[in-house]
Amino acid sequence: MIFVEGIIVGLSLALIMGFGPSFFTLVQTSINRGFKSAMFLDLGVILNDIMIVALMMMTNLQFNLSGDNNNLVYAGISASIILIIFGVYTYTLSPKKIIHISEHNNEKIEKLNEKFDDDPKWFVYISKGFVINIFNPFVWIFWITCVATASSNYGGDKYSLMTFFMGVFATTLFFDIAKAAGASYIKKFFTEKMLRIFNQITGIALILFGVYLIIRVLFFPL
C-alpha cells in the first residue's frame, strides 16, 4: 500500500512538477541528440534526487522526526507552508523564464559536447543532469518538503519511507522516458499560452494540497 501511495505521488510529481526547465532541457536534448542521450541526462537528474532524499534520511535531516509527535506536527505544518509558497511561485512563474532557463542549460550541454566527439560519452549527459538538478534550489525545497510530509504520514519509519520513495522514483522515471520518447510532439504542444495556463493550474493544485496537508496534520494526526 505504501508503494502504491508512492506511485500516486510520483504520478502527481510527473504531472504537476514535471514541466519546468528540466523538462524542456530533457526534450531539447532528445530532439538534438537523440533518445539515448536524453535518458542519460534524466538518469543524472534522478540520481541527484535519490542522493538528496537519501542524504536527508540517513543524516536525520527529516528534522529528527522519529518518536516525537510534536515534531511530526511542526514538520508537517512547515512542509505544508513551503508547499503553499511553492504553489504561489509556480502560479506566477513566467513561461518565458522557463524557456530561457532551459535554453541556457542546453547551451551549456552543447559547449560540453564540443569537447568530445559528435557522439559524446554517456557520462557527459549524466553529469550535466546531476549538476543542473543539484544547483536548483527549488529541487532541494521540494524534496525537503516531500520527506518531511512523508515522515509525518509514516511516523518517521525509514523502511516505510524507502518503500514510499521507491514508488515515487519508479513512476517519475517511467514518465520521463515517455516525455523523451515523444519529445517532438510534446514540445509543439507546449506553447507559452499553454505553459501559462498549466503553471496557474499547477500553482492552485499545490496551494490546495498544502492546505489539505495542514488540515490533515492538525485534525487527523496519526
Q: What is the pTM of this model?
A: 0.67
pLDDT at 30: 77
pLDDT at 62: 47
User: DSSP letter string over 21-83?
Assistant: HHHHHHHHHHHHH-HHHHHHHHHHHHHHHHHHHHHHHHTTTTTS-TT-HHHHHHHHHHHHHHH
What is the radius of gyration, based on Cα positions, of the chain?
Answer: 18
**Residues 153 and 222: beta-carbon distance below 8 Å:** yes
CA distance 64 to 41: 33
**Residues 138 and 53: beta-carbon distance below 8 Å:** no
Q: Which stretches within the chain are classed as H helix? A: 2-16, 21-33, 35-58, 69-92, 95-114, 122-134, 137-154, 158-181, 183-189, 192-219
pLDDT at 68: 56
pLDDT at 127: 85
According to DSSP, residue 156 is labeled T
- Going from the first residue of the chain to its last (222 residues), give the mean pLDDT of each consecutive group of 10, the final group possibly shorter: 81 64 71 81 88 78 53 70 79 65 56 54 81 76 77 74 89 82 67 74 78 74 54
- 157 contact partners, CB below 8 Å, separation of at least 6: 66
**Residues 95 and 192: beta-carbon distance below 8 Å:** yes
**Residues 130 and 42: beta-carbon distance below 8 Å:** no
